[in-house]
Amino acid sequence: MNPAARRAVARPRVLYIAYWGALEPLGQALLVPAVLALAARGARVTLLSYEKPSDAHPRAIAALRARLRRGGVRWIAGRYHHRPQAPATMLDLVQGALRILAKPGWRRYDIVHGRTLVGGALGAALAPLLGARFIFHTEGYWARERVDAGTWAANSPAYRVADGLEQCLFDRADAIFCLTEASRAELELRPAVARQRTPVVSVPSAVDLDFFYREATDRSVVATSADFDGDGGAMAESRRAVDRIRLNATKATPTIVAPTTVAPTTVAPATVAPAMADPKFAEKTTPPGRQGAGKTILLVYAGTVGGAGVGDRKAPAEPGISHRYRLDLMAGFVAHGRRTGRRVHLEVLTRAPAALVAEIVAAAGLPPEGYCCRMTDRAGVRAALAQSDGGLLFQAPGAAAHAGSPTKVGEYWAMGLPVLLTRGIGDTTTIASAFEAGVLVTGHAAADWERAWLQLEAMLADASTAARCRAAAAAHYDLGQGTLRQWEVYRQLLGWPEA
């Protein structure tokens, strides 16, 4: 490679397209940290997102634009149009393409990184025009998820079009990023992927472990706030120091997962260091509800909500509503705990209407004094998790469940919370079992719930539980490791020699 080409590749020019809003909670959790991390590694990133009018307040736009600019990311904020769905999506695609092609130097991209189905479709269309390599970053099997949620029928024209588009993107991509090991193995078996030797890399919904961290744990290593620098560098280093104590092992270097490479190293559950046996250390990392008998157990659920019958009355496109996430069953589990004499409280963090949440919870038998519901920002989610004892995720089964990676699970574990979850949600069951970081709820009869409650109480009484949960997050959901996997694919596609 000649010197000029090497300099160009050393900082790859990336057009990152996602059919999410960078200002909405999902974008704040997954999109903004991802592009900033790629830029910090050296990529010159241009982000195209689609902002919902309810989120696009001028002050919020200005603040995020300044934040992204400081991080080296150019931001093109498109507008999201909702109805009618198909024409609105086509309008968004056309407007997004025009916004990109109208920019000076629009041919100067090395990689088009299309995230989400619509983002992938636009990326696949633009990449040949830009002379760039195309990466399809799938967020699960979107068309199948719509069927699982009851939004579409399996034989409907909408499903056939969306599913056909998704299959085409898998076959045309120069590389594929998926969310789980289960879907990675499935995608590698596709004839076109195998024939073209397309790299397929599992990148779970990553969590910024420096952000989602219990502050009391920071104080166990760093004595005063005076030790922190203005950019949080010392804070981040202190958190990594605690993680090294907890993991008692160094992180394995991720590998490119492709038919032409060796399989990724399986991350074994980490052994909790003896330091965690120190009662004072354990007390500092123990949430309020765990500190002795008779205390109220605080369980939290963060995200969109649904329940039996909700799909008949509410459109899943409304903010905060998804028929896959069974708030009715989670509330029923908490209600069972209260009926059996336990002091337990549920906190629901969601954008869904409070009246809908109240209706679902009441139908599940949980009284008003047994729960609270509020909408909050990312920092508010972290604060709520810091006060909680465990996280909940009861998801309806479906054909696409194994390909999903709910962000909330990584956030729960990053904050040291054991997770109560149902079977078949991406790789979560395997991870929870390997790290003893969660309770699998195998059914929803009273006996199943009682068994899960007993297992949860045993985990809460174990001083090493928080460390195991944090280890699970560090091994599987770390934003830094996820960024490195993606960067290695960039390098591979561009023929950049390994550093």
pLDDT score of 366 more than 60: yes
Residue in the structure block whose two tokens are 């409304």: 318
pLDDT above 90 for 66: yes
Domains 3-207+478-494 and 277-476 share a fold: yes
* The pLDDT value given to residue 499: 57
Highest mean pLDDT among 90-94, 213-217, 222-226, 436-440: 436-440
- In the chain, the N- to C-terminal Cα span, in Å, equals 14
Select the CATH number that applies to the domain covering 277-476 from these four: 1.20.120.160, 3.40.50.2000, 3.40.190.10, 3.40.50.300: 3.40.50.2000
Closest listed residue to residue 441, CA positions, set 416, 423, 462, 417: 423
Q: Which of 213-227, 278-292, 485-499 has the highest mean pLDDT?
A: 485-499
State the DSSP H helix or E strand holding residue 274, giving kind and residue range, or none if neither: none
For residues 4 and 255, the model is more confident at 4
**Please, are residues 36 and 68 in contact by the beta-carbon 8 Å criterion?**
yes
User: Per 3-state DSSP, what percentage of the chain is helix, strand, and coil (rounded to 5)?
Assistant: 50, 15, 35
Higher pLDDT, residue 318 or 143: 143
Give domain limits for the chain. Answer: 3-207+478-494, 215-267, 277-476
Q: Mean pLDDT, the chain, as a whole number?
A: 82
- At residue 2, the pLDDT reads 53
What per-residue confidence (pLDDT) applies to 122? 96
| 380-416 tens-digit pLDDT | 999 999 999 999 999 988 888 888 999 999 999 999 9
Residue 68, Cα to own-chain centre: how many angstroms? 20
Place of tokens 């909702």: 82
Beta bridge partners of 471: none
Alpha-carbon span 399 to 31, nearest angstrom? 26
Say which residue, 111 or 265, is predicted with more confidence: 111
pLDDT value of position 477: 94
Residue, of 159 and 11, whose pLDDT is higher: 159
What pLDDT shows up at residue 214?
Answer: 80
Torsion of CA 407, 409, 412, 413, to 10 degrees: -110
Q: Which CATH architecture has domain 3-207+478-494?
A: 3-Layer(aba) Sandwich (3.40)
Question: Which residue do the tokens 């479906």 mark?
Answer: 398
For the chain, give the percent of residues with pLDDT over 70: 78
Considering the chain, what percentage of its residues have pLDDT values greater than 90?
Answer: 61
Task: Look at residue 102 in the predicted model and tell me its pLDDT.
Answer: 84
Encoding tokens for residue 210? 């420096």
Q: What's the rounded mean pLDDT across residues 82-94?
A: 86
Beta bridge mates, 301: 348
Q: Any alpha helices (H) in 2-116, and if so which ranges?
A: 3-10, 25-26, 32-41, 58-70, 85-101
Structure tokens at 171: 């076959």
With 60 as the cut, is the pLDDT of residue 476 above it?
A: yes
**Cα–Cα distances in angstroms (integers) from residue 286 to residues 113, 280, 417, 463, in the given order:** 40, 10, 10, 8
pLDDT in tens, 26-45: 899 899 999 999 999 999 99
pTM: 0.80
Burial class (CB in 10 A: 0-12, 13-18, 19+), 355: exposed
